[in-house]
Amino acid sequence: MTEKVKYIPTIGIECHVQLCTKTKLFSEVDNDARQKSPNSCVSPVDYGLPGMLPRLNKMAVRYAVRAGLALNSEINLQSRFDRKHYFYPDLPKGYQITQLFHPIIGAGYVELPSGSKIRIEHAHLEEDAGKLSHESGDSLVDLNRAGTPLVEIVSMPDIHSAVEAREYTKELWRVMTYAGVTFGDLYNGNMRFDVNISIAPESSDKLGTRAEVKNLNSFRSVERAVEYEIKRQSKLLGKGEKVVQETRGWSDATGETTSQRSKEEAQDYRYMPEPDIPPLNLRPEVVDEERANLPIMPAEYRAKFNDILGSDTVEILLDYRPLMEKLAELDDNKAAKKIANLFSSVLLAEENASLLNDELPSKEQLLDLVAMNEKNELSSTGMKEVFLKFFDPEMHYKDTLTIAKELGVVQENNLEELEKIVDAVLAKPETQQAQADFKAGQEKVIGFLVGQVMKESHGKANPSAVQDILRKKLQ
Ligand code: MN
């Protein structure tokens, strides 16, 4: 009987991130082609017309530096551009300007929610090509995307399962959007993933032959494509056949990868130094400035809040960056816990989804809300009511106490006042029976008496204080 061989998958991922600069990487035309007609954001540089001269976009370089810092990478103060030649209808120049030998971003890592680290080999700056669409037998070229700045992030083969591949791509998306270098619109291809997958028997110390699945644009399709490839390659090896090194395409509809072409080698592209762009020499101050301005990254939020809020809550809230920023702004762990609870129970409730587009309450409003709750001036229900009013256009500019008073939800804590109300209730004929029952040992009638006091106070009494007073008086 033959024993089933266990295969270990090894996965590396390349990700193209479109930078959200105002203009293109080498020309001054609009880089944001959303809602614009095809071929309306194109300059002679992007067409590759004779005599054109590319000029490097400073902001794109800044964004690349910022992306590199978000990847915990070394920033190379000196980098260079190369020409990568190939023919395709969406690339009129016949070559792509990219960085092969001297990329701007060196080795770094991405930390996953689980805490494991996926190393980054390097990342480089390059231009995007145009887009082809195939309609009823015709192929149409749109060059609006030609020349859009990209950062291509190349991971080390540190990923070993389909789930981990999905987690890595999701985290990469979070890191890039938190860094503010991309719109991160996956549906429109702002981030695209190429996944290299090989498998090898557990006992082997050599990696297997890899297949590359190109142009995946969702976390889910990354996971599914990897699952499919692991199965396909295991089957081949199980039959004693070989995995071919090649580029494969993915279909969301069929859930399968299909062979597209055999894998090119670097020499096929006739790389050469780009003669139109001088070497890029960064001033160290540029890196320092970007480092100082780098927003708080997801891993930092986890380190700060996982113990306080629990990692499940943190992962949910990380999908809503302004909420995370607000919690950090409070700069008070105890308050953050209560406010995070309001965020997830009230703001993320389906019926309040529209409020997420509104301006969030101020730090002062939220801290006052927590303080009033701590002082028993607001019950947790009262807290929710006031919190919702922060989003009311008529109310949002008012301070917490004013809103609470207008809503009539401030709790009465003045013991003398409360005692007066309790006395009034105990004097009423309709509470006599309950008082007698309580004295006779019927513990649960205390609830009825508290309820009577609450009614008498029009809901403003602090129920736990009321209960204390009642017990004292009825002993
Ligand atoms: Mn590339």
Alpha carbon of 191 to ligand 1 centroid (Å) = 12
Helices (H), 239-320: 284-293, 298-309, 311-318
Find out whether 158 and 119 touch, Cβ atoms under 8 Å.
yes
pLDDT along the chain (475 residues), means of 10: 79 98 96 91 92 96 98 98 95 95 98 95 97 92 96 98 97 97 95 97 91 96 98 94 94 94 79 96 98 96 96 95 95 95 93 90 96 91 94 91 92 85 92 92 91 86 88 88
> What is the DSSP pairing of strand 95-98 with strand 131-135?
unpaired
Beta carbons within 8 Å of 278's beta carbon, 6+ residues apart:
none
- Give residue 462's pLDDT: 85
Instruction: Using only the alpha carbons of the chain, give its radius of gyration.
Output: 31
Alpha carbon of 268 to ligand 1 centroid (Å) = 15
Alpha carbon of 413 to ligand 1 centroid (Å) = 66
Alpha carbon of 26 to ligand 1 centroid (Å) = 16
- Give residue 265's pLDDT: 74
Find out whether 175 and 155 touch, Cβ atoms under 8 Å.
no
Alpha carbon of 152 to ligand 1 centroid (Å) = 6
Alpha carbon of 319 to ligand 1 centroid (Å) = 28
Alpha carbon of 255 to ligand 1 centroid (Å) = 25
State the Cα–Cα distance between residues 292 and 187, nearest whole angstrom.
32
Whether the predicted model's global pTM rises above the 0.75 cut: yes
Beta carbons within 8 Å of 106's beta carbon, 6+ residues apart:
68, 73, 74, 75, 76, 122
Structure tokens at 38: 């095809």
Angle between helices 363-374 and 333-342 (to 10 degrees): 100
Q: What is the DSSP string of 11-70?
A: EEEEEEEE---SB-SSSSSBS--TT--TTSS--HHHHT-TT------HHHHHHHHHHHHH
At residue 188, what are phi and psi to the nearest 5 degrees? -95, 20
Find out whether 206 and 200 touch, Cβ atoms under 8 Å.
yes
Alpha carbon of 17 to ligand 1 centroid (Å) = 10
